[in-house]
Amino acid sequence: MCNLAQICVNEYIANACKGEEKMVQLDLEKLNKEYSDKSPEDIVRFVVENIGIEKVALASSLSIEDQVLTDILLKINPKVRVFFLDTGRHFQQTYDLMEETMHRYGFHYEVYAPESKELEQAVSKYGPNFFYESVELRKKCCEIRKVNPLKRVLSTVDAWICGLRREQSLTRQELNIFEWDGLHSIYKINPIVFWSEDRVWEYIKKYNIPYNSLYSKGFRSIGCQPCTRAVRPGEDVRSGRWWWEDPDKKECGLHARVGQV
Ligand code: SF4
């Protein structure tokens, strides 16, 4: 971790110490070296034990990566928090998978939805498909449906766990296992950041984990229905997301990196 990020961590922890809650201080540089060849199970166990079960949550979009992490986390502790951002525009197959996963593990997702007033105003003003009109309006839609609900859930934790992988896109090449999320002032943990897509599938098949049926139809990264399409063999994993935009702009704001380098 660079000096700037360490200063951000220290400043935040110093401020947190003035209040009632005290955030556990992690040495990210040391942890990233120590856990670089450890399993996701070891990483997750460390996080849950050191930060506390109530202060950690897995962000699940029901992707294959998030299904792997859901399996790992719930096997370690069935009380772990798993949240889902219900944008209202997901594929029916995603909702079906959500229900199947709930039954398989006997747990409930924490579901966060857009603020109704904000959404009503945007759709009234711009129409139901306004995300196609410009990058700015697409980002506005993601902000209302994803980023703002995410802020609400992340204000309740000290660390969030994500299924991001380096090879997924140009914008994810620098990711590490343990990170400081300067945007939300909490830790961000990426236990399978070095995994390949093949390795994810091996885990899915080995443990017979339910996955989205759209993967069998050429989809490789699945988000909202209007903004996701199948990709051709050889195309980038995330090329089916917001396919009309430049590759270096293809993030929805959920994984923006502020206060990090
Ligand atoms: S992915 Fe598309 S539909 Fe979903 S929140 Fe973003 S712009 Fe809106």
Instruction: Write down all domains in the chain, each with its CATH number in brackets.
Output: 26-249 (3.40.50.620)
Mean pLDDT check: name the lowest of 18-22, 27-31, 89-93, 94-98.
18-22
* CB atoms closer than 10 angstroms to residue 41: 13
Q: How many helices (H) and strands (E) does the chain have?
A: 9, 6
Q: In this model, does residue 119 exceed pLDDT 70?
A: yes
Q: What is the pLDDT of residue 8?
A: 52
Nearest atom in ligand 1 to the alpha carbon of residue 89 is 3
Pocket mutation for ligand 1, best pick of 61, 63, 84, 89 (most atoms within 8 Å of C-beta): 89
Residue owning the nearest CA to atom 1 of ligand 1: 224
Q: Cα(155) to centroid of ligand 1, in Å?
A: 22
Q: Across residues 210-222, what is the average pLDDT?
A: 94
Q: What is the pLDDT of residue 202?
A: 98
Q: Across residues 52-58, what is the average pLDDT?
A: 97
Confidence tier at 19 by pLDDT (50, 70, 90): very low
Q: What is the pLDDT of residue 232?
A: 85
Nearest atom in ligand 1 to the alpha carbon of residue 139 is 7
C-alpha span between 161 and 155 (Å, rounded) = 14
Mean pLDDT check: name the lowest of 43-52, 64-73, 230-239.
230-239
Q: Cα(130) to centroid of ligand 1, in Å?
A: 10
Confidence tier at 111 by pLDDT (50, 70, 90): very high
Cβ(114) – ligand 1 distance below 6 Å: no
Residue owning the nearest CA to atom 5 of ligand 1: 142
Cβ(85) – ligand 1 distance below 6 Å: no
Cβ(89) – ligand 1 distance below 6 Å: yes
Cβ(141) – ligand 1 distance below 6 Å: yes
Residue owning the nearest CA to atom 6 of ligand 1: 142
Sheet containing 178-181: order of strands: 110-112, 81-85, 56-59, 159-161, 186-189, 178-181
Confidence tier at 45 by pLDDT (50, 70, 90): very high
Q: Across residues 31-37, what is the average pLDDT?
A: 96
**Active-site entry in 8, 224, 227, 252:** 252
DSSP string, 66-108: HHHHHHHHHHH-TT-EEEEE--S-B-HHHHHHHHHHHHHHT--
Report the range out of 17-26, 62-71, 162-171 with the highest average pLDDT.
Answer: 62-71
Q: What is the pLDDT of residue 172?
A: 78
For the question of residue 17 being annotated catalytic, the response is no
Structure tokens that stand for 188 in this block: 């961000």
Average pLDDT, the chain: 89
Q: In this model, does residue 160 exceed pLDDT 60?
A: yes
